[in-house]
Amino acid sequence: MSRVAVIGGGPAGLMAAEVLSGHGIAVDLYDAMPSVGRKFLMAGKGGLNLTHSEPVDAFLARYGERRTDIEPLLAAFGPDDLREWARGLGVDTFVGSSGRVFPTEMKAAPLLRAWLHRLRTAGVRFHVRHRWLGWDAGGHLRFATPEGEKAISADATVLALGGGSWAKLGSDGAWLPLLAARGVEVAPLKPANCGFDCAWSEHFRERFAGQPLKSVALSFAGETRRGEFVVTETGVEGSLIYAYSARLRDVLSVDGAVTFQLDLLPDWSPERVQAEVARPRGSRSLSSHLQSRLGLKGVKAGLLRECLDQDAFADPVRLAAAIKALPVRLRATRPIDEAISTAGGVAFAALEAGLMLRAMPGVFCAGEMLDWEAPTGGYLLTACFAGGRAAGQAVADFLGR
């Protein structure tokens, strides 16, 4: 019987193990942590966003420049297939008001428990606290274990080692130089779905850190999107920021800073804002005037003060324009370990069609360690599941040949 080593116990690795065991192939799954699926469980802490229900073309567009690479994976195992697979584990799903898909219980733990039970029943053997160290001179897989270093042989290997964020949960990117040393084309890891630093004043930071900016619209690079995000002690983060993070990050890396425009009142026309700002305010302060006439208060009013100079508040035309397009300047991304996910990793050009490394026949890669990225909303998990499934099937075909 063929024996395959799957290294990495996240969704991609577990899905590869499921496909392989279904083909009657012996599977040993290794993970550096004391238990598998730790980042998956963390992702579901506030409600597991498993996938998204939007039309296929819009869904595929979320993968940007990597759409052509991800599309074949999702054609074989897409959002509807993922929901049906979860149902097979006894986990029903529902579509939320935003189109995102969640388990009815909202949690990741019940799904993971049922999945691991099925894998163990199918014969998958789990080896935790096994940190992969690369290969020895004889081509054996090296692992650091509590009992010392071990060398393991396998007929094929699936690497599903994750990206470089949340190292304490197992994704530390330590695999990248190991593959580069073997002639595998890799791109440096970069933060994705990340927060950014701003040069907040001490007053603004102390007063507004942790507060959400709701019902706003962000414009950047010719695109405008409504949503919300959070002011942090160092800058900004949250779903609306994540939706633009790849483009903001890339411009920032070249120019050293980047600015987006924020509409604080997206339901108001510019003409209406202009008219209300220009109304006589009598003895009232400008802050009171903006609150009573436009409803601008709290963190929105604070951000307006933070990002504009004093002269702008004396000019009704400039002030009204800023309320509809406030320039918010970013000066750095947050550290990669704080990011929800990462870009970079194994280049698709380094892979055969079946996710096998061109430089290393019999070694396959799947999941976030490949060079792609997507926004939050279920797109990351869906592609990880699909990639793991594709890698498992490709290994089975390889061994069959």
Per-residue pLDDT of 137-151, as tens digits, reads 999 999 999 999 999
Does 85 have pLDDT greater than 90? Answer: yes
Q: Any idea what DSSP says for residue 140?
A: P
**Mean of pLDDT values over 73-99:** 96
Phi, psi of 200 (to 5 degrees): -65, 145
> What dotted CATH number matches 3-192+344-400?
3.50.50.60
Residue 349 has a pLDDT of 97
Helix (H) or strand (E) holding 152: strand 148-152
pTM of the complete model: 0.91
Does 280 have pLDDT greater than 90? Answer: no
**Mean of pLDDT values over 315-341:** 95
Long-range contacts from 100-107, C-beta under 8 angstroms, 24+ separation: 100/49, 100/51, 100/52, 100/53, 100/377, 100/378, 101/49, 101/50, 101/51, 101/52, 101/53, 101/378, 102/47, 102/48, 102/49, 102/50, 103/48, 103/50, 106/44, 106/47, 106/48, 107/44, 107/47, 107/48
Does 54 have pLDDT greater than 80? Answer: yes
**Which residue in this structure is represented by tokens 């999941």?**
367
Q: How confident is the model at residue 169 (pLDDT cuts 50, 70, 90)?
A: confident
Per-domain residue ranges for the chain?
3-192+344-400, 196-333
**Mean of pLDDT values over 101-109:** 94
Tens digit of pLDDT for each residue in 230-240? 999 999 999 99
Could you tell me if 366 and 16 are in contact, meaning their C-beta atoms sit under 8 angstroms apart?
A: yes
